[in-house]
């Protein structure tokens, strides 16, 4: 349902990035932005005539931002079959369904890090036009890899040599990419590689990073081994995906150089998801075997203060351990030692900062988009309170309302 009049969320508790503040009101303008946030009495005094929605003390947070998403996920097995056997129209519809489910799960913004046949750009356009329900999209277009490198069979764009990678990078920017994703090592999903297989030379990595930075785009890298990551950091890399084998030396370097980390810790401990999608046994075994070292990498990054953002790699909405992959990822991050408040910021304000979108999303503040989720329990006390989500808004429009609260009434 679209918001046509100003509305005010009343009697709510707002997460302001540092604490849960009680007795708040959130005034949402008809254009989908937040007009005011403050004590409920003050907000209602200013917003006379607006429709109000009584949240009975429930908790209002910014919509979640998932920084490692493939809406057309093509892991070996059933998922790859559904993606690669589809024509372009079928692929866009498959991705649109995943986008709708993602939004309903409370993820109002995604960073796509490798899609197929440039379908992500068509989907982004349709979502922005209001033709399709889905989160805000920031996308890398095709991921880049060497010939036969990680992701080649999942539609990563193959290139070789510095000139080849410059051209591939420019092709993504030409298509409208917001960032660049490059695969610099092997990974879990490549049958004929190892996680610690280095796959790009320094000249190739430098070519990608140089072109992207010239065009004011950041570069994130699928990466496993510390040595490949160290080399990329020295060349100016902006972000690391997975980081299965991070050493303390490299996490200290990441913190020093302000290189971000998106751990996707769920991917090395999601046996049930793999089995449900009939992923090959070799991949399940490799993922689970990587789990202990992956966990150690996450703990190294937390200890050394590496800037971090939430990313699931699994579909954000995928059922997992009684919740979604997105929420379970945050729970794992807290279990690994990240303070709860830091984890909440890693799913809201911090990724907005990396995306350069902190003026629009990532906080419940006046002037920002009304991308909001509502919970029954306090997430600052227990990150698992995110399991109590029951209302989702994006740009002031309601996309999920389990309790029918937004029927509202005029004041």
Q: How many residues does the chain have?
A: 411
CA dist., res. 280 & res. 267, Å (int): 14
Number of H helices, E strands in the chain: 13, 20
pLDDT tens-digit readout, 150-179: 999 888 999 999 999 999 999 999 999 999
Decide: 10 and 54 in contact? Cβ < 8 Å: yes
Q: What is the DSSP letter of 63?
A: P
pLDDT value, residue 1: 38
Residues in the chain with pLDDT < 50?
Answer: 1-3, 409-411
Strands (E) across 86-232 are located at 107-112, 136-139, 144-146, 157-159, 179-183, 218-225
Is the four-CA dihedral 159, 162, 166, 167 of positive or negative sign? negative
Chain mean pLDDT for the chain:
95
Position of tokens 């939004």?
A: 103
Instruction: Classify each residue of 28-50 as buried b or exposed e, where b means 16 or more C-beta atoms within 10 Å of its C-beta.
Output: bbeebbbbbbbebeebbeebeeb
pLDDT value, residue 411: 39
Q: What is the DSSP letter of 247?
A: -
Q: How far from 128 is each of 132, 150, 291, 379, 395, CA to CA, in Å?
A: 8, 31, 38, 30, 11
pLDDT value, residue 145: 98
CA dist., res. 14 & res. 23, Å (int): 8
Greatest C-alpha distance within the chain:
65
Q: How far from 160 is each of 145, 157, 182, 194, CA to CA, in Å?
A: 8, 10, 12, 19
List of residues 6+ apart from 339 with CB closer than 8 A = none
pLDDT value, residue 51: 92
pLDDT value, residue 155: 87
What one-character-per-residue DSSP string does 279-291 give? --HHHHHHHHHHH
pLDDT value, residue 154: 87
The β-bridge relationship of strands 389-394 and 64-69 is unpaired
pLDDT value, residue 2: 42
Decide: 225 and 177 in contact? Cβ < 8 Å: no
Query: Residue 269: phi, psi to the nearest 5?
Result: -150, 35
Model pTM?
A: 0.96
Classify residue 124 as left (phi > 0), alpha (psi -120 to 50) or beta. Answer: alpha
pLDDT value, residue 36: 98
pLDDT value, residue 164: 98
CA dist., res. 369 & res. 347, Å (int): 16
Domains recognised in the chain with CATH numbers: 7-62+362-410 (2.30.40.10), 64-354 (3.20.20.140)
CA dist., res. 79 & res. 91, Å (int): 12
In three-state secondary structure terms, 127 is: helix
């Amino acid at each position: 349902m679209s918001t046509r009049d100003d509305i005010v969320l009343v009697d709510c508790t707002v997460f302001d990035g540092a604490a849960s503040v009680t007795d708040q009101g959130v005034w949402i303008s008809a254009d989908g932005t937040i007009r005011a946030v403050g004590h409920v009495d003050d907000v209602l005094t200013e917003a006379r005539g607006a429709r109000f929605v009584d949240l009975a003390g429930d908790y209002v947070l910014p919509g979640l931002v998932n920084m490692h998403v493939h809406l057309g996920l093509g892991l070996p097995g059933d998922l790859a079959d559904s993606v690669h056997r589809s024509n372009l129209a079928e692929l866009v519809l498959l991705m649109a369904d995943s986008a709708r489910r993602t939004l309903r799960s409370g993820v109002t913004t995604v960073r796509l890090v490798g899609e197929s046949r440039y379908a992500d750009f068509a989907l982004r356009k349709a979502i922005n036009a209001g033709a399709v329900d889905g989160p805000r999209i920031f996308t890398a277009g095709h991921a880049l890899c060497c010939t036969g490198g990680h992701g080649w069979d999942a539609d990563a764009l193959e290139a070789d040599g510095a000139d080849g990678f410059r051209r591939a990078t420019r092709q993504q920017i030409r298509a409208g990419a917001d960032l660049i994703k490059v695969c610099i090592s092997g990974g879990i999903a490549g049958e004929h590689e190892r996680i610690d297989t280095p796959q790009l030379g320094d000249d190739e990595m430098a070519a990608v990073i140089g072109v992207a930075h010239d065009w004011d785009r950041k570069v994130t890298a699928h990466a496993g081994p510390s040595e490949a990551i160290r080399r990329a950091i020295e060349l100016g890399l902006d972000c690391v995906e997975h980081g299965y084998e991070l050493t303390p030396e490299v996490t200290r370097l990441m913190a020093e150089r302000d290189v971000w980390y998106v751990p996707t810790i769920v991917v090395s401990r999601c046996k049930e998801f793999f089995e449900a999608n009939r992923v090959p046994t070799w991949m399940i075994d490799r993922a689970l075997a990587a789990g202990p070292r992956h966990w150690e990498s996450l703990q190294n990054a937390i200890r050394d203060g590496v800037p971090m953002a939430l990313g699931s790699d699994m579909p954000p909405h995928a059922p997992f351990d009684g919740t979604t992959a997105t929420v379970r990822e945050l729970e794992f991050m807290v279990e690994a030692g990240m303070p709860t408040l830091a984890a909440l910021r890693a799913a809201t304000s911090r990724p907005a900062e990396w995306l350069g979108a902190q003026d629009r999303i990532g906080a419940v503040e006046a002037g920002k988009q009304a991308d909001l989720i509502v919970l029954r329990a306090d997430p600052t006390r227990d990150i698992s309170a995110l399991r109590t989500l029951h209302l989702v808004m994006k740009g002031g429009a309601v996309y999920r309302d389990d309790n029918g609260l937004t029927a509202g009434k005029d004041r």
